[in-house]
């Protein structure tokens, strides 16, 4: 894949030309070569490389492998040449290559199979590596030997719950239809609630709860018992524990969607929250999709990620996309030479090559961190700094030379410093270890099909939200209250992330350690010296560009004062 292989200037120019031909017009015209290269996904780069060379591109080639033919090859030779022979068909050998300009694959095929012609297809190095891993090595037992081991099947895996097939049992069909509809609407959560005279479920889409869907009260206990059964929990658990947590997997047209389940007792019955961990419609890649931060903010974030040790802290309320951004950072930091360990409760997004650890309860935190430090980590991701103990452990990990990524709950980036101080961390330790303080929000985007144009912002709103007189004549848009068919009557379609970052350079760290300035004064000084935008600045840019409205901004940002 073009982002993983070495290309000379002429080759990179060819790929960029192909990339601009296939890119959206707005990106092709406005982005520089480097910005276009960085913002393009791996699959698009792979396609552009194929277009430039005339070699068909396949993101995944494992399904094309003939295992018997593959076993004739030497794994170390294939790994060094970045190619893999997949299968032989008559006088042709299908071979996957990462670099179409490299002749290693041609030389290998012609020397081993002189009567055959190599037919090359293009794929990513990671795909080639996964095929090589399929080959039986001499350093361990073969697959046949492992399969021959007889063990007692005392814990069978939980089968996926297919939400798109027709179920004969009515309760199963009801729950399947509910989950299928939630996945189809890109809901983040499903709430099932009981009140005095009603039993209903409601979806959370783009941060807002939608309309209730009423269910017959007589189904309350049946639905409850069915959901527990999906996780292989007996109904008796309802009377034993005030809160029940669990997981299962929904199968949606062959796609696995993780389901996180949380239930607690209420005065009238119970309240179930179902979190849908469906990442397929999210673009968890820095600089792309809903993580398309402005250039200056993205550059400072990448600078902080390049520092070999220290802490990067992401703040924001629950549901602000902090974990999504940190997982995108982990994907970018993920290298074979680095050992990355995560400590989460729960694990929401598994990354190949990263060791994820799931906390069962808070009592496991300290022993797990102690175990982490003895496991030779390079990068540690802690789900959240909750108390003094977790803050001290994060600081200690950074002081001893590790890169730490974590989250915390504060409204602004500068208040991360205050929060660490409140938890008992000395200023000099914060100054020595903190490399970037970030704050994030998710703001709703207007439906492009039904947004309503406005000639400017009314005087009352300008005064209320501290907007200058220029906004009186700045064209903006509002959401249509009744929405349309495309946005399912919401007036909004999706969300995007707003991010502010405070880079803690050695000079800023020195000021912080001395304690001469408050965290807010330090923030003002950083913004004055660097010109980096705040959450408010980024939100107003979205407003001016017609992508959101004041109603959406005021729900996630305090706009009532000038920063």
Reported as a single tens digit per residue, the pLDDT across 392-414 is: 888 888 888 889 999 998 888 99
Model confidence over 119-155: pLDDT tens digits? 999 998 878 877 876 664 434 444 443 345 444 333 3
Give the pairing type, strands 434-446 and 492-503.
Answer: antiparallel
Is 9-132 assigned to CATH 3.30.300.160? yes
Give the pairing type, strands 117-122 and 452-454.
Answer: unpaired
In this prediction, residue 28 carries a pLDDT of: 65
In this prediction, residue 174 carries a pLDDT of: 92
Segment 309-316 mean pLDDT: 92
Q: 466 or 286, which is more confident? A: 466
Quote the radius of gyration of the chain (alpha carbons, Å): 27
Q: What is the DSSP string of 283-346?
A: --STTSGGG---HHHHHHHHHHHHSSSEEEEEE--TTSSHHHHHHHHHHHH--TTS-EEEEESS
Model confidence over 223-245: pLDDT tens digits? 999 998 888 888 777 777 778 88
Let me know if 526 is exposed, middle or buried by CB neighbors in 10 A (0-12, 13-18, 19+): buried
- Candidates 413, 385, 393, 409; CA nearest to 301 is 413
182's tokens? 């939630």
What is the domain partition of the chain in residue ranges? 9-132, 161-277, 289-442+498-538
- Candidates 328, 364, 317; CA nearest to 345 is 364
Q: Are 244 and 233 in contact (CB under 8 A)?
A: yes
Dihedral over Cα of 24, 30, 36, 39: its sign:
negative
Q: What's the rounded Cα separation, in Å, for the pair 521 and 524?
A: 5
CATH class in words for 289-442+498-538 = alpha beta
Give every CB contact of residue 179 below 8 A, 6+ residues apart in sequence. 161, 163, 190, 250, 252, 259, 274, 276
Q: Is the pLDDT of residue 539 over 90?
A: yes
Model confidence over 59-113: pLDDT tens digits? 888 888 888 888 888 776 787 788 889 999 888 999 999 888 888 888 888 888 8
In this prediction, residue 151 carries a pLDDT of: 43
161-277 and 289-442+498-538, same CATH topology? no
Q: Are 194 and 220 in contact (CB under 8 A)?
A: yes
Q: What is the pTM of this model?
A: 0.65
Q: Is the pLDDT of residue 253 over 80?
A: no
CATH class in words for 161-277 = alpha beta
Segment 470-485 mean pLDDT: 91
pLDDT, mean over the chain: 83
């Amino acid at each position: 894949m073009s982002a993983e292989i070495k290309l000379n200037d002429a080759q990179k120019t060819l790929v960029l030309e192909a990339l601009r031909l296939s890119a959206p017009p707005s990106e092709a015209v406005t982005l520089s070569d480097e910005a276009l290269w960085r913002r393009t996904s791996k699959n698009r780069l792979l396609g552009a490389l194929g277009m430039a060379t005339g070699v068909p591109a396949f993101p995944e080639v494992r399904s094309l492998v003939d295992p018997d033919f593959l076993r004739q090859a030497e794994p170390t030779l294939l790994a060094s040449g970045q190619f893999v022979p997949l299968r032989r068909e008559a006088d042709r050998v299908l071979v996957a290559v990462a670099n179409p300009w490299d002749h290693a694959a041609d030389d290998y095929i012609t020397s081993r199979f002189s009567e055959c012609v190599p037919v090359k297809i293009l794929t990513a190095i990671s795909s080639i590596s996964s095929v090589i891993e399929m080959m039986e090595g001499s350093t361990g037992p073969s697959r046949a030997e492992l399969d021959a081991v007889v063990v007692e099947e005392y814990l069978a895996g939980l089968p996926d719950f297919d939400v798109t097939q027709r179920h004969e049992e009515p309760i199963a069909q009801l729950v399947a239809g509910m989950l299928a509809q939630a996945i189809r609407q890109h809901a983040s959560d499903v709430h099932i609630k009981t009140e005095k005279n009603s039993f209903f479920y409601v979806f959370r889409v783009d941060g807002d709860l939608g309309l209730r869907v009423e269910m017959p009260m007589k189904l309350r206990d049946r639905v409850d018992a069915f959901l527990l059964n999906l996780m292989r929990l007996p109904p008796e658990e309802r009377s034993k524990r005030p809160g029940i947590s669990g997981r299962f997997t929904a199968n949606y047209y062959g796609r696995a969607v993780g389901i996180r389940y949380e239930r607690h007792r209420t005065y009238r019955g119970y309240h179930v929250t179902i979190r849908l961990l469906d990442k397929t419609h999210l673009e968890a890649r820095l600089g792309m999709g809903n993580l398309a931060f402005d250039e200056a903010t993205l550059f400072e974030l990448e600078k902080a990620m390049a520092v070999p040790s220290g802490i990067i802290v992401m703040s924001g309320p629950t549901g602000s996309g902090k974990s999504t951004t940190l997982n995108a950072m982990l994907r970018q930091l993920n290298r074979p030479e680095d050992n990355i360990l995560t400590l989460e409760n729960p694990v929401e997004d598994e990354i190949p090559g990263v060791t994820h650890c799931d906390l069962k309860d808070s009592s496991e935190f300290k022993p797990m961190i102690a175990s982490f430090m003895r496991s030779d980590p390079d990068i540690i991701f802690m789900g959240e700094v909750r108390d003094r103990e977790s803050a001290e452990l994060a600081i200690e990990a950074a002081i001893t030379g590790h890169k730490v990524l974590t989250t915390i709950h504060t409204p602004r980036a500068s208040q991360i410093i205050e929060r660490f101080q409140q938890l008992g961390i000395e200023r000099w330790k914060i100054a020595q270890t903190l490399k970037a303080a970030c704050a994030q929000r998710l703001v709703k985007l207007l439906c492009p099909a039904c947004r309503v144009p406005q000639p400017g912002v009314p005087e009352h709103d300008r005064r209320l939200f501290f907007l200058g007189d220029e906004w009186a004549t700045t064209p903006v848009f509002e959401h249509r209250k009744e929405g349309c068919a495309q946005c399912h009557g919401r007036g909004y379609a999706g969300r995007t992330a707003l991010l502010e970052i405070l880079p803690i350079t050695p000079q800023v760290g020195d000021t912080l350690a001395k304690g001469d300035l408050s965290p807010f004064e330090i923030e003002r000084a950083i913004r004055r010296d660097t010109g980096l935008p705040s959450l408010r600045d980024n939100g107003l840019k979205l407003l001016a560009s017609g992508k959101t409205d004041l109603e959406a901004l005021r729900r996630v940002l305090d706009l009532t004062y000038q920063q």
